[in-house]
Amino acid sequence: MARASSLLYLDGVSVSFDGFKALNELSLTIGPGEMRAIIGPNGAGKTTMMDVITGKTRPDSGEVYFDGTIDLTGEDEASIAEMGIGRKFQKPTVFESHTVWDNLELALKAPRGPFATLFHVISGGERKRIEHLLDLIRLGGKRDDLAANLSHGQKQWLEIGMLLAQDPKLLLVDEPAAGMTDAETAETAELLKDIANDHSVVVVEHDMVFVRSLGVKVTVLHEGSVLAEGSLDHVSANDRVVEVYLGR
Amino acid sequence: MMSSFLFRAMDARAGIFLAIMAAVIILIPAGNLLVPEGSAFHVPNYALTLMGKYLTYALLALAVDLVWGYCGILSLGHAAFFALGGYAMGMYLMRQIGTRGVYGDPNLPDFMVFLNWQELPWYWYGFDMFWFAALMVLLVPGFLAFVFGWFAFRSRVTGVYLSIITQALTYALLLAFFRNDMGFGGNNGLTDFKDILGFNIQADTTRAGLFVASGLALVICFIICRSITRSKLGKVLVAVRDAESRTRFLGYRVEHYKLFVWTLSAMMAGIAGALYVPQVGIINPGEFDPANSIEVVIWVAVGGRGTLVGAVLGAVLVNFAKTWFTGALPDIWLFALGGLFVFVTLFLPKGIVGTFSQGWTALRQRRISQALEAGSGEAPDAPPHSPSAPANVTHATPAPKATDPQPAE
Ligand SMILES: Nc1ncnc2c1ncn2[C@@H]1O[C@H](COP(=O)(O)OP(=O)(O)O)[C@@H](O)[C@H]1O
Ligand SMILES: [Mg+2]
């Protein structure tokens, strides 16, 4: 796919930590409205790729473009988030000493400057939106609980809720099902499919059942670059993929 | 907009605090001026001045708590802003002496005559006018904090590294102000003040007035801090404190938030210093001592980091203890202070007010669960929460209905 018609475009991206290449000439293109699953063994560079896209890590070389024209390598985390890229972290990170409600309110799309927030008065529309999200992530009964008191799975869901509250164009979701029961995993897959109806989503996940249930194009990463790409059945038939990942 | 901003500041706890402050501001000066000396309710002059001093310390502690307790910036240099505000006020007070100095020079303060200076340095211009000095009380600490914060926060200096450079900042100022050719009176500092706004600085009524001014400044800054910490901006600050990088990924420019509270806090520290100086009658470079800034942090830790009332309480209690110790057992004080800090860190990590409100919350939780067990069936109140509330207190609430929603069954 050409850069101009892509939503996210990575070309030849390399990142090394003390000489170790976490990303090695990685190229990847996500189209508008697309949902993509990324799999690969531990240490393949999946999280590092998200770090590069969201401005946490600067690539040593390569191009990263959002919306075809915006060069992300020169931007910091806050401006990339403002452009419409939201992220759920591998380790759920919510604001523990805030309530569930406040976590969502902080994430809600709204002006981000200090003076805007200083004089901010929550509007009816915002309340409705938070209520809606609370229903969606099934934390309505816990709205006044501190996020610290949620279970691991609930924190994952809260973080997905926060991601939705930001209303980004592109969602980067890192291992959303980690630490969930099978039933929770299935529900998370349903939720993500719902979300993918009107957002572009990149999901990193290890759980093959989960990836299968998404039913989307899969990219296999290995040692910092793309090993195979295509439907899950297609990549599963690839000998190299079986060898480095599935076969274990 | 503004009224809802201020309205947010008020709740029961703030109400109690403000009521106590109102009583203090009215009763203590009244006890000094109106109650005859023989009476048990008479407040002696030294006590009035001492308590006025405590109020300015409390304001300094409030300023430190705003940045440390709510935004996680552990400043070990706030005494620098306090001292700068103090110097700005001191310069005004020096200019009020006029020809009443030892050398009787109408234009130059005594120490400049002593140094054989011929004319007033340019940076002393304007300090003969109160409004100018008052402006400088805010602008000098504010500007320094802004410049310092601009560089520090943009380059993402955090944690212990930031604390160390704040110590370096106050130490550098200490050395600079010690120098005679800086033009701030060298190691003697500024003293021998005569009057303020035309009132004799030694007069009982002036002292009472300064006490009231300190109390009012504390109240106003408390209300401002409280409005800030309870606004959405305050929630962002706590988010920065707990998970700075996560906050950036939500699109908040953390450095702008830090710069905002940091500068505001420095200005409050400056006001505290400006009210302190006329009450103690002197400002010298010793106020920049790095140890002073550390002491402020201890006050806040003792009272309760992240609780504004705690900062005020901690400052008053520790300084009360200090006054008593330095009178009764002067050699012991530093050990007692160190011991207190260790004790609080180990056994009262939330400080006095934090521990108290935690206990209160736990008690309410127990009542709620007992009520539920007794089968009253009432859904419990929303558990009390605040950004500074301890993160482990609300788990005891059993589900009011069996269908407590879960992500999945
Ligand atoms: N900040 C870092 N410093 C050093 N090495 C890192 C850093 N981040 C990631 N790595 C290394 O880069 C490799 C890829 O990591 P990561 O992207 O987290 O893999 P994945 O998410 O695919 O499991 C790993 O070997 C990891 O140890
Ligand atoms: Mg990872």
CB-CB under 8 Å, B248 with A118: no
pLDDT digits (tens, 9 = 90+) for B283-302: 999 999 999 999 999 999 99
Encoding tokens for residue B56?
């300015």
Pocket of ligand 1 (CB under 6 A): A 17, 22, 40, 42-48
Nearest-angstrom CA–CA distance, B37 and A165: 65
pLDDT value at B161 more than 50: yes
Q: What is the pLDDT of residue B381?
A: 43
Backbone φ and ψ of B190, nearest 5°: -115, 130
Residues A177 and A203 sit within 8 Å (Cβ to Cβ) = no
Nearest Cα to Cα of residue A145 among A103, A195, A186: A103
- Cβ partners under 8 Å of residue B157, min gap 6: B165
Nearest Cα to Cα of residue A170 among A229, A77, A236, A84: A84
pLDDT value at B356 more than 70: yes
| DSSP H/E element including B322 | helix B308-328
Q: Give the gyration radius of chain A's Cα atoms.
A: 18
Residues B49 and B279 sit within 8 Å (Cβ to Cβ) = yes
SS3 call for B199: strand
Q: What's the whole-number mean pLDDT along residues B160-188?
A: 96
Distance from the CA of A16 to the center of ligand 1, in angstroms? 9
pLDDT value at A200 more than 90: yes
- Cβ partners under 8 Å of residue B30, min gap 6: none
Instruction: Looking at the complex, report in whole angstroms how far the Cα of residue A189 sits from the nearest Cα belonging to chain B.
Output: 12
pLDDT value at B279 more than 70: yes
Closest atom of ligand 1 relative to the A224 alpha carbon = 14
State whether residue A44 sits within 8 Å of chain B by CB: no
CB-CB under 8 Å, B391 with A148: yes
Residues of A whose CB is below 8 A from B4: 121
Q: What's the whole-number mean pLDDT along residues B323-349?
A: 91
pLDDT value at B376 more than 60: no
| DSSP H/E element including A71 | strand A70-71
**Helices B78-97, B254-280: inter-axial angle, 10-degree rounding:** 40
pTM for the predicted model, two decimal places: 0.91
pLDDT band for position B409 (cuts 50, 70, 90): very low
Q: What is the pLDDT of residue A92?
A: 85
CB-CB under 8 Å, B405 with A146: no
Mean pLDDT of the residues in chain B: 89
Nearest-angstrom CA–CA distance, A58 and B153: 19
> Taking CA atoms, what residue in B is nearest to A172?
B249
Q: What is the pLDDT of residue A211?
A: 92
pLDDT band for position A119 (cuts 50, 70, 90): very high
pLDDT band for position B391 (cuts 50, 70, 90): very low
SS3 call for A122: coil
pLDDT value at B400 more than 50: no
Q: What's the whole-number mean pLDDT along residues A45-68?
A: 95
Which of B4, B233, B246 faces A114 most closely, judged by CB atoms? B233
SS3 call for B191: strand
Q: What is the pLDDT of residue B383?
A: 41
Q: What is the pLDDT of residue B1?
A: 58
Q: What is the pLDDT of residue B396?
A: 35
Q: What is the pLDDT of residue B375?
A: 60
B196 backbone φψ class: left, alpha, beta (φ>0; ψ -120 to 50): beta
Closest atom of ligand 1 relative to the A46 alpha carbon = 22
Residues 150-169 of A with CB under 8 A from B: 153-154, 156-157, 162, 166
CB-CB under 8 Å, B242 with A146: no
Q: What is the pLDDT of residue B2?
A: 65
Q: What is the pLDDT of residue A248?
A: 52
| Number of A–B residue contacts, CB under 8 Å | 137
Examine the predicted complex and report whether its ipTM is higher than 0.90: yes
pLDDT value at B70 more than 60: yes
Strand B282-283 vs strand B190-191: parallel, antiparallel, or unpaired? antiparallel
What burial class does residue B2 get, using C-beta atoms within 10 Å of its C-beta: 0-12 exposed, 13-18 middle, 19+ buried? exposed
Say which residue, B37 or B4, is predicted with more confidence: B37
Strand B195-196 vs strand B199-200: parallel, antiparallel, or unpaired? antiparallel
Nearest-angstrom CA–CA distance, A146 and A165: 18
Measured CA distances, B91 to B101, B134, B190, B192, B278 (Å)? 14, 11, 7, 12, 11
pLDDT value at B27 more than 90: yes
State whether residue A84 sits within 8 Å of chain B by CB: no
pLDDT band for position A247 (cuts 50, 70, 90): low
Residues A37 and A203 sit within 8 Å (Cβ to Cβ) = yes
Q: What is the pLDDT of residue B252?
A: 97
SS3 call for A198: coil
In chain A, the percentage of residues whose pLDDT exceeds 90 is 81
Q: What's the whole-number mean pLDDT along residues B184-205?
A: 94
Nearest-angstrom CA–CA distance, B58 and B269: 10
CB-CB under 8 Å, B251 with A112: yes
pLDDT band for position B397 (cuts 50, 70, 90): very low
Encoding tokens for residue A216?
């989307």
Closest atom of ligand 1 relative to the A18 alpha carbon = 4
CB-CB under 8 Å, B232 with A141: no
Q: What's the whole-number mean pLDDT along residues B153-165?
A: 96
pLDDT value at A23 more than 50: yes
pLDDT value at A87 more than 70: yes
Ligand 1 pocket, mutate which of A18, A23, A48 (most atoms under 8 A from CB): A48
pLDDT value at B276 more than 70: yes
Q: What's the whole-number mean pLDDT along residues B106-115?
A: 91
Closest ligand to Cα A46: 1
Residue with tokens 């701030």: B184
Encoding tokens for residue A138?
């099934």
Q: What is the pLDDT of residue B5?
A: 72
Distance from the CA of A204 to the center of ligand 1, in angstroms? 14
Distance from the CA of B263 to the center of ligand 2, in angstroms? 38
Q: What's the whole-number mean pLDDT along residues B208-220?
A: 97
Q: How many residues does chain B have?
A: 409
State whether residue A9 sits within 8 Å of chain B by CB: no
pLDDT value at A1 more than 80: no
Measured CA distances, B146 to A117, B142, B264 (Å)? 20, 6, 9
Nearest-angstrom CA–CA distance, A205 and A88: 12
Residues A217 and A37 sit within 8 Å (Cβ to Cβ) = yes
Q: What's the whole-number mean pLDDT along residues B116-122?
A: 94
Encoding tokens for residue A72?
């992300």
Looking at the DSSP assignment, which residues form a beta bridge with residue B34?
Answer: none
Nearest-angstrom CA–CA distance, B340 and B320: 14
Closest atom of ligand 1 relative to the A50 alpha carbon = 17
Encoding tokens for residue A96?
């523990």
Residues B317 and B324 sit within 8 Å (Cβ to Cβ) = no
Instruction: Looking at the complex, report in whole angstroms how far the Cα of residue B241 sits from the nearest Cα belonging to chain A.
Output: 9
Nearest Cα to Cα of residue B105 among B120, B88, B121: B120
pLDDT band for position B363 (cuts 50, 70, 90): confident
For the ranges A122-136, A205-219, B138-152, B217-231, the lowest mean pLDDT is seen at A205-219
Nearest Cα to Cα of residue B256 among A70, A79, A73: A79
pLDDT digits (tens, 9 = 90+) for A138-189: 999 999 999 999 998 899 999 999 999 999 999 999 999 888 888 889 989 9
pLDDT digits (tens, 9 = 90+) for B74-84: 999 999 999 99
Residue B273 exposure: Cα atoms within 13 Å on the Cβ side: 36
Nearest-angstrom CA–CA distance, B232 and B137: 29
